[in-house]
Chain A
Amino acid sequence: MTHSPQDLALLSELGALLRRCHPVPADVVAGARAAFAVAAGPPDWRWLERITDAPVPVRSGTPSFRFAGNDVRVQLELHRLPWRVRVIGLVTPVLDVEVRWPTGVRRVRPDDAGLFRVDDLPRGPLRLVIGETFATPWFGP
């Protein structure tokens, strides 16, 4: 969009003022900076692709996700509790599952059928690493 020099000067002054008066919260900036290192993952990871583009809400808004690739499949539901999240999933073949978030990780062993459940996860983006090798992209609530 082209602006007149007067408009541009006023917008520029407003932008500088807003940066000082209403800065992006420090934890949001920290999360955005951390996303860079966290998103890449180690080079030996192999990737699972998300099967549906958008989470499909089931049962009063519980989003579900499916990922597959390299003969590994996982489907899961995200249950949002106030301020925390619970993941319930089914993985085939049955391999250990890590649930990762930008600043932490929780490891879980599924039952014989491949069912697993992880409680008390923080809100925000999550990723699964299955069998220490097969990683999903980040997905959100």
Chain B
Amino acid sequence: MTRPYDQLAPGELLRLARGRDQAAWNEIVRRYGPVVWRVAMAQRLDPADAKDVSQNTWFALAERLDRIREPERLAAWLATTARREALRVHDLRRLEARPSWWPDDLEDPDAECWPEPHVLRSTRDRLLWRAFAELPDRCRRLLGLLAHAPDLSYAQLGRALGMKAGSVGPARGRCLYELRRRLAVLGYGEETVG
């Protein structure tokens, strides 16, 4: 019996994609697209540059499907490649003349943007969103990436976000603590607050 694509392991998806299976590739994009996008946005590039970073990262994977030796590290490979692309674009932009009104530090979309009401389906959603949005920027970047790729190691997270590997573990603990503290204040369900 054939299993649905969303239940396949990364290795199986890569094997199918090497056989030119577009649906397997689409599942890879669905699963890891947010990882690539979050790493690109973490570099504070403008949205057009972040789109370039994402596109270049996916082209890099499409051209190297045969060379991914450790499928279970696909998320880490994509995060590292996106980070490298983002740094490259960031360095190029620094050399360019920009208009005087160009912001030095673009807004983090998680900070200011309140989602459309229909996507916050419950009180729990609203409270979690509010608690997350109130976290310091560094915590939103770290937990936002970890939420999409919980298997990344401290070293991989550090590389993807430009943090020292030794600081990732303590930061993770502090950020989760801060998130839970805010959730508790807001009255979020005890069973998940832990």
> CB within 8 Å of B: which residues of A?
1, 3-4, 6-15, 17-25, 27-29, 31-33, 35-40, 54-55, 57, 60-61, 63, 80, 83, 102, 123-125, 137-138, 140-141
Is B1 an interface residue when CB atoms closer than 8 A count as contact?
A: no
Asked if A10 and B54 make an inter-chain contact with CB atoms under 8 angstroms apart, the answer reads no
Contact across chains for A123 and B120 when beta carbons are under 8 A apart: no
Ranked 10 nearest A-B pairs via Cβ: A61-B95, A6-B194, A39-B62, A15-B147, A21-B115, A35-B58, A36-B25, A14-B147, A32-B58, A140-B56
On whether the beta carbons of A28 and B54 are closer than 8 Å, the reply is: yes
Q: How many whole Å from B89's CB to the nearest CB in chain A?
A: 7
Query: Which DSSP category, helix, strand, loop or mixed, fits chain B's interface?
Result: helix
Provide the bound-state CA to CA distance between A54 and B122, in Å: 47
Inter-chain CA distance A90–B31, complex, in Å, is: 41
Please give the distance in Å from B52's CB to the nearest CB on chain A. 6
Q: Which residue of B lies closest to A41 (CB)?
A: B63
Contact with A along B67-95 (1 / 0, CB 8 A): 00000000000000000010011011111
Report the Cα distance A108→B150, complex, angstroms: 48
